[in-house]
Amino acid sequence: MQSSLGPADIWILIEQYERDARIQDLWASETLDFMKDAEALRDVRFLTGTVQAMMEQLRECLVYLSEYWGQSKAETWFKAVFLAKDDTIIQGFTDTFAQLKVQFDQRINVQQWKIIQATGDQVAMISNKIDVLLEQYTNREQDGTKLASASADNTVRLWDVQTGASIGSALVGHTNWVTSVVFSPDGNKLASASQDNTVRLWDVQTGASIGSGLVGHHNDVNSVVFSPDGTKLASASYDGTVRLLDAQTGASIGSALVGHTDWVNSVVFSPDGTKLASASWDTTVRLWDVQTGASIGFALVGHTKHVTSVVFSPDGTKLASASGDSTVRLWDAQTGASIGSALVGHTNAVNSVVFSPDGTKLASASWDSTVRLWDVQTRASIGSALVGHTNAVNYVCTSGMFRLGPLLALPW
């Protein structure tokens, strides 16, 4: 595929099929039932918003397809999706869902939509990012074999998921507890946050520190996260501020983001990379404009104790927050308005909350030693609490695309 296509339509190559049909897989002898899969992919058929937001949704499609067809086949299909014509960008599929099962050299029933206008530069940006995206996905799969851990011994360590063995020596550089560690989207870097008031970058392949510690905070750094495109870092600190950093140079981007009146516990980028959300001991959540560093609207008020965690829904339209008041709350990410009443069920502080990849469910982890599942639409608890831990559950996450589970819950 060319590195730059110029002004283009994004064409989708598809073969229509009836909703109740069973489809013969193109690359296997077995017959697969795609009913459930089709419903799942319908959730991401509307590619709206900025180029970054569209790319993130397309990346999710790529990961999803790879689960069924293998990485090489999915990448082949993904490249086949993008063909050049004129100055428009696709926004969505037809109402009748199309099974995405086209080989690179086989064009079946080509259909085209002209929904929203975009400049040639924007479309060229998309075509450039496709190649980067495929490279990042390869790295992401490779990096799926590794874990990174942050420790009170002041170090970061890399681990082999298959063998459980430590990879190389400990990553040494911090002078106090390491509170958070995260992989870059391309899997080539790590960023770590520490109670020594710094953020550090590391080369995953060599384990070497990239530059010196990134300074600017005046108290413990609790959380660090990469932007979806990997070009920026955001950090949250006990100094009550959020900071943006250049992930390549380590330089601070603008001034500290000031608005919270107490420790900031958590920070997260929106899926399109244009916003930040932060959670604070001042009982509020705040939204920030990444481009300007300005606070978006007023603080999101509703919790009665410190907010421990905040996360965007996969489509970026909602926020979920967890609090020491034993509740989870949902918010409209555009208006900042609370969505309904608090989600009540835990009997102690809630430490972590996460959306399922399809955005229909939440999982929360609590000091009451349980994990709970919630229906986002109704805000009702799904079944009983998940019990088994004998102490506080500190963190919960999900794996797999477009389904909830398996869940990983980490005890205190």
Give the residue among 35, 40, 37 at the shortest CA–CA distance from 359. 40
Residue 168 parent element (H or E): strand 166-172
Residue-averaged pLDDT of the chain: 70
Instruction: Give the model's pLDDT for residue 10.
Output: 29
For helices 51-69 and 71-80, the axis angle rounded to 10 degrees is 140
The two three-digit tokens of residue 292, written as one number? 């300007």
Query: What's phi and psi for 242, nearest 5 deg?
Result: -115, 140
Mean pLDDT within 389-395: 83
Question: pLDDT tens across 107-120, in order?
Answer: 322 232 222 233 33
pLDDT at position 236 over 70: yes
pLDDT digits (tens, 9 = 90+) for 119-130: 334 333 333 444
Query: What is residue 227's predicted lDDT score, i.e. its pLDDT?
Result: 92
pLDDT, residue 72, reads: 53
CA distance 65 to 15: 16
pLDDT > 90? residue 27: no
Per-residue pLDDT, 67: 58
Q: Is the pLDDT of residue 395 over 90?
A: no
- For residue 66, the model assigns a pLDDT of 58
Which residue is it, tokens 């963190």?
395
Tokens representing 295?
A: 């606070």
pLDDT band at 94 (very low <50, low <70, confident <90, very high): very low
Q: What are the distances in angstroms from CA 175 to CA 168, 194, 234?
A: 20, 8, 21
From CA 48, how far away is CA 100, in angstroms rounded? 19
Predicted confidence at residue 390, as pLDDT, reads 85
Q: Give 321-337 as a 3 state SS string.
A: EEECCCEEEEEECCCCC
- Separation in Å, CA 92 to CA 28, 39, 86, 104, 110: 29, 15, 17, 21, 14
290 pLDDT more than 50: yes
The confidence band for 56, taking pLDDT boundaries of 50, 70 and 90, is low
In order of their start, the domains of the chain are: 15-141 (no CATH), 146-411 (2.130.10.10)
Q: In which band, very low, low, confident or very high, does the pLDDT at 173 lie, cut at 50, 70 and 90?
A: very high
